[in-house]
Amino acid sequence: MLTSLKSALVRLYRSITQPQPPRRSGLNGFEAPSAEREIEYWGRRRPATDKEFWEYYAHGEDGMRNTRDLIATLEKLDLPPEFSLHEIGCNLGRNGYYIHQRFPHARLSGNDVNPEVEARCREFFGDFADVMRFEIVPTQEWLEREVKAGRQYDVLVSVAHLIHVPDDSVEVLRKYIPQVVRRYLVLIESAGTHSPDSEWYKKWTTNANVHWFDRDYAGIFDTLELVSKEDQVRTRSGKQYAIYVFKKPAPSEGAEGNS
Ligand SMILES: C[S@@+](CC[C@H](N)C(=O)[O-])C[C@H]1O[C@@H](n2cnc3c(N)ncnc32)[C@H](O)[C@@H]1O
């Protein structure tokens, strides 16, 4: 009680004393924050005792459904056994854990802004925390750095992550994501179901100030070849997700490829 009163006062104080980012209207009509503010939300340290948060990411129903869809999607791709896969916004690595069960030779890595993710991976998934390489860095920075270093991944994955990246980062995504993809980009992202009238939306956006940015990713990653787009509804929550598979086009004649 006292803690929530204190944090409300801190927020009020900050909103008065600190310059606020320009507000834009997101697809659902809420006021969209900047990347900086959204990263502050997600990067907040959440202790192991925040059971609702970590258990949701370890084995929540919607997440598990996304994981199963992701694995079914990967099974259809043309990949060598030791393919490299990086998940942006990987949280505690649930997707990686199940990918490892199905593709034990895949080389897995992920980045997130939440400093707890590797420790929570170990708590829920044991030694798998030594298999997946975690980095605590915002996706925007990670992309820029990987492109500068000339690194590429056979598969780049985002599951319910880009929906939390605000509009002021879209150009960074558009510019860098195709460059770090060697073969495929797989996205499982929410598609237009976060109604401001829903209890769920009120709980998270109004009370916790977390936001969703539903977008058409086919329009953003138009330098990649869209192989498929499938819509899926999660029965219990009624949320709708789109599964996109993009393929890196073969380099045109005379162009140099990255290895
Ligand atoms: C809804 S969760 C999805 C997590 C995971 N992909 C899954 O399928 O369970 C969104 C994740 O994105 C992370 N995140 C949000 N903004 C980020 C940013 N700018 N860079 C990296 N991670 C970010 C959050 O910390 C959180 O773990």
Domain boundaries, the chain: 20-247
Residue 112: CB within 6 Å of ligand 1?
Answer: yes
pLDDT at 42: 92
pLDDT at 1: 53
Nearest CA to ligand 1 atom 5: 90
Q: What is the mean pLDDT of each run of 10 residues along the chain (259 residues)?
A: 63 56 45 81 90 94 94 98 98 98 98 97 98 98 98 98 92 98 96 67 70 87 97 71 95 55
CATH tag, 20-247: 3.40.50.150
Residue 201: CB within 6 Å of ligand 1?
Answer: no
pLDDT at 206: 67
Residue 90: CB within 6 Å of ligand 1?
Answer: yes
* CA 251 – ligand 1 centroid, Å: 31
Q: For 81-124, what is each residue's pLDDT tens digit?
A: 999 999 999 999 999 999 999 999 999 999 999 999 999 999 99
- φ/ψ region of 29 (left if φ > 0, alpha if ψ in -120 to 50, else beta) reads left
Residue 139: CB within 6 Å of ligand 1?
Answer: yes
Closest CA to 209 of 39, 17, 1, 53: 39
Residue 114: CB within 6 Å of ligand 1?
Answer: yes
Report the predicted TM-score, pTM, of the whole model to 2 decimal places: 0.86
* CA 91 – ligand 1 centroid, Å: 6
pLDDT at 10: 62
d(CA 87, CA 166): 18
pLDDT at 30: 54
pLDDT at 66: 94
